[in-house]
Amino acid sequence: MIKDLKHNKGFTLVEIMVAVSIFVIVAFIVTSSLLAILDASRRANKIRLIIDNMNFALDSMTTKLKFGTDYDTDGSSLSFTDREEHTLAYCLSNVKIKRKGVSEPVNNQSLLKCDFGKNQPVGNCGGNPSCESIVTDEITVTDLRFAESLCGGSRCPNREIIILVKAETMIKNSLTKLNFQTAVSQSISQ
């Protein structure tokens, strides 16, 4: 008697091994793609947070400058009198910060705001107790420049200051460099 092969149902061992192998390969590709997307998302979020922090610092500077008087800049620092008659200065200086995984504080260049008090002369910007960093410790400010617009040799009733900032940060063991520029015009109505 001949057995009827049409009634045997199921998969052979070879068919099951091929199907499982294809499933494992597809699962590996999908998983590695998902991990790459998550890593890119984390990197983009960190860059966005760094940019938001720098924008906040520049916005706070421009708000103070807009209503300030007696601007004085040497190109790398800027001092002025704010609307409460406090002498303020912005400069680039080294500050000690505590980094994750490092036992000792390290030097980091940062953007400082110094408040020397009401009707006080400008003091030393760096290392002064009246100075505080206005950017997060994750940002290293590598260059800070102030440029004043010229207006024909006379004092401008509405002076303009251009602020240029170069910064860098480490994101996933990769150095990311950022450049910022803004301009602020002195408010006419003091």
Report if residue 109 sits inside a domain. Answer: yes
Report if residue 168 sits inside a domain. Answer: yes
Q: Which of 45-49, 97-101, 175-179 has the lowest mean pLDDT?
A: 97-101
Instruction: Please tell me the pTM assigned to this model.
Output: 0.72
Q: Whole-angstrom Cα distance, residue 24 to residue 123?
A: 67
Q: What's the structural domain count of the chain?
A: 1
Report if residue 2 sits inside a domain. Answer: no
Q: Whole-angstrom Cα distance, residue 84 to residue 68?
A: 9
Report if residue 115 sits inside a domain. Answer: yes
Report if residue 148 sits inside a domain. Answer: yes
Please report the sign of the dihedral spanned by the C-alpha atoms of residue 149, residue 152, residue 153, residue 155: negative
Detail the DSSP E strand segments found in 5-105.
69-73, 78-81, 86-97
Residue range of the domain that includes 166? 27-185
Q: Residue 181 CB: number of other CB atoms within 10 A?
A: 11
From edge to edge, which strands make up the β-sheet containing 160-171?
140-148, 160-171, 174-185
What pLDDT score does 190 carry? 47
List, for residues 60-90, the tens digit of each pLDDT value.
999 998 888 888 888 888 888 888 888 899 9
Report if residue 120 sits inside a domain. Answer: yes
Q: Whole-angstrom Cα distance, residue 76 to residue 60?
A: 18
Report if residue 107 sits inside a domain. Answer: yes
**Contact in structure between 63 and 82 (CB atoms under 8 Å):** no
Report if residue 7 sits inside a domain. Answer: no
- Greater confidence (107 vs 98) lies with 107
